[in-house]
Structure 1
């Protein structure tokens, strides 16, 4: 069963400027700042709140990344599940289209990408034990 909205992605042209705005001007806290070959993964969130905003860099465009890099560019909506493999079967049976035949294991947990009728990517995730804060 889906349990939470994990991330919301905002496309920004300058991650450092966006980070200053969201932390210094709006009072959000920086949660994750992880540089990697697919792009800097930078998030902010309300102190104590469960939802994080991904500040994803891209060239100026109306809410869309300049280039989608498979496996590196997140879906515009990321939904969290407490049992993604079970939810995947239910959603597949309901006709949801996925990018892979089964959810995959990653360092952060389990993930798979779905697509809505308009072609928007929806990331479905289940956090690993370390990501849950319970070990």
Structure 2
């Protein structure tokens, strides 16, 4: 069963400028700032709030116009599940279309992308449950 809205994405042209606006201007707190192969993963959120806003910027490659690339960025909506593999089977039986045949394991947990009737990607995720041995 889906349990939470985890992230929402806001497209920005300058992540540092956006970070300053959201933190200093609006009083949100920086949550995650992690460089990655597909761009900088930067989030802010209301202190003690469950939802985070991804401040996402992906410059066009080689000065070319930005083109949509499947899997290049998080979907516009990210929903959290407490048992994604189980939910995946339920959703698939209901006719939901996915970009992969099965959910994938990542360091942060499990994820798969669904596609709505208009082609918008919806990220479905289950966070990794950390234990003391993980550090």
TM-score by length of 1: 0.88
Deviates more, 1:51-60 or 1:16-25: 51-60
CA distance in 2 between counterparts of 1:67 and 1:23 reads 29
| Aligned equivalents of 1:71, 1:120: Cα separation in 2 | 12
- State which drifts further: 50-59 or 80-89: 50-59
How far apart, in 2, do the equivalents of 1:71 and 1:119 lie?
Answer: 13
Aligned counterparts, 1:48-63, within 5 A: 48-58=48-58
Q: Name the residue aligned to 2:112.
A: 112
In the alignment, the residues of structure 1 paired with residue 59 and residue 46 of structure 2 have an alpha-carbon distance, to the nearest angstrom, of 26
Q: How far, CA to CA, are the matches of 2:2 and 2:37 in structure 1?
A: 30
1:108 and 1:86 map into 2 onto residues whose CA distance is 18
Q: By how many angstroms is 1:38 displaced? A: 1.1
Q: Is the 8 A contact 1:38 1:69 kept in 2?
A: no
Distance 1:103 1:47 in 2: 31
User: 2:67, 2:54 → 1: CA distance?
Assistant: 16
- Which of these two proteins has the greater Rg computed from alpha carbons? 2
Aligned alpha-carbon RMSD (Å): 2.0
TM-score (norm 2): 0.88
1:63 aligned partner:
none
Query: How many residues matched?
Result: 128
- SS of alignment partner, residue 113 of structure 1: strand
Establish whether residue 38 from structure 1 lines up as the match of residue 38 from structure 2.
yes
Unpaired runs of at least 5, structure 1: 61-65
